[in-house]
Amino acid sequence: MTMQTIIRKKPMKISLITLPILIVIYLAISMYFSNHFYYGSVINGINASYKTVEQVDKEMLTKSKTYTLDLKERNGVNEQIKATDIAFKYRGKDKIQALKEGQNPFMWIFAIFNLKASEIDGVVTYDDKLLKEQFDKLAVSDSKKTIEPQNASFKYSDNGYVILKEVKGNKVNSKQLYANVVNAIIKGETTIDLEKKNYYVNPKYTSTSQKVKDTKTLLNKYISSKITYSFAGGEEVLKGAIINNWLGVNKNLEITFDEEKMENYIKEIDDNYNTFGNQRNFATSLGTIVKVSGGDYGWLVDRTREVKDLIVDIKGGQTITKEPHYIQTAASHDTNDIGNTYVELNLTKQHLWFYKNGSLIVQGDVVTGDVSKNYATPAGVYVLQYKEKNATLKGEGYSTPVDVFMPFNGGIGIHDAIWRTKFGGKIYLTNGSHGCVNSPPILAKTIYENIDAKTPVVCY
């Protein structure tokens, strides 16, 4: 036998001796794990490695008596739910035993490569009612202590809008949190970090959100607008210092306009434009100055339309000079907005003049509303509504055809009165019209042929 043969046979003998030893060791370990949990076993948060059912049972029992669930909340707030508060009890030995019996002691070697925690339901009990009461007592459940989350907001300054940081608050999703509290108690977990578990209701938009930055840019564009209202004797300049009071931002970061405030602003500047129904100093054909008030003539701002137009102008960041929109216009913006084309009616003298472009076209005596019957023709400055040929005037107890009719105050108008042979004087005091201006046919016809709708009619 050579030395080489001896060397080859020696390892084989060693292997034959080692294998039975390994088998014995493996069986011995298997016997150990017949009443001990595998290495790496974790049951409901308790390390059960190499422990017997009795040891695990005892540890769980001990833990249950001092069990406390800690809730870590925002701003350093910590709250607890204790076992004694909810009648928390451990009753799970049988289930732990069943779990142990489910471990094949001969398969212990595979457990080393398959470490996992076990969760057993029903090993603890608690009082549902007491738990709900304890949960409702928590500060995190107290609506009076709840700080609502707020999106990042905006503040106007002399240098434009700045972003104000969001408010996180401490409002939680109560249903979700309560379900997790129950789950934690069942599993024997001792801590819930509300921030990490994302149970808080957070602001949708923060100061770093792109949409917040975009909204700030848009707000600053809006307040960059400069809108000048120019009127006789001055101007009103609308800039960011006023505009910012009208702007708001809703929860979706959409910019809103307070149209009521805007209309109030338009109302404030109305006095520079509106003359509708105002008292006027009127130079009469008799050379006197009379004060005439009432009627429906004059400039009248269309506030609603002007607000809508202002919104468009502001959104465009425009710099413009403008007049407001009008529902009704007058001849001019001069102090005498009546202009030089108008009908003048002196109710006392019962005389009418019609001027066109400053020239007297026609004049003559008339008969106005019957004073004795409360039909007196009202004073004021009115707008001629329209003119009509071959009209029929109707009222209570009468229906009268006329050749021409020119209404300026509701149903009151100028028309021919062929049934009258006399005009002027004191006729109107006892035998006047129903309010209309009865005119000689030639006077009414001449006016009709030269007048246009919207011409002012001054009655005094």
Which residue type, as a one-letter code, is found at position 362?
V
**Cβ atoms of residues 366 and 424 within 8 Å:** yes
Length in residues, the chain: 460
Q: Which residues contact 450 (CB under 8 A, 6 or more apart)?
A: 354, 356, 361, 362
Q: Say how far apart CA 2 and CA 452 lie, in whole Å.
A: 143
Angle, alpha carbons 401-405-410 (nearest 5°): 110
- Backbone torsions φ then ψ of 361, nearest 5 degrees: -90, -45
Which residue type, as a one-letter code, is found at position 108?
W
- Backbone torsions φ then ψ of 234, nearest 5 degrees: 170, -165
Q: List active site positions.
A: 415, 436
If you search the block for the tokens 């026609």, which residue do you land on?
362
Which residue type, as a one-letter code, is found at position 400?
T
Closest CA to 172 of 207, 137, 148: 148
- Backbone torsions φ then ψ of 187, nearest 5 degrees: -85, -5
Q: Say how far apart CA 428 and CA 352 lie, in whole Å.
A: 14
- Backbone torsions φ then ψ of 74, nearest 5 degrees: -70, 160
Beta strand residue intervals within 158-243, DSSP E: 160-164, 191-193, 226-231, 234-238
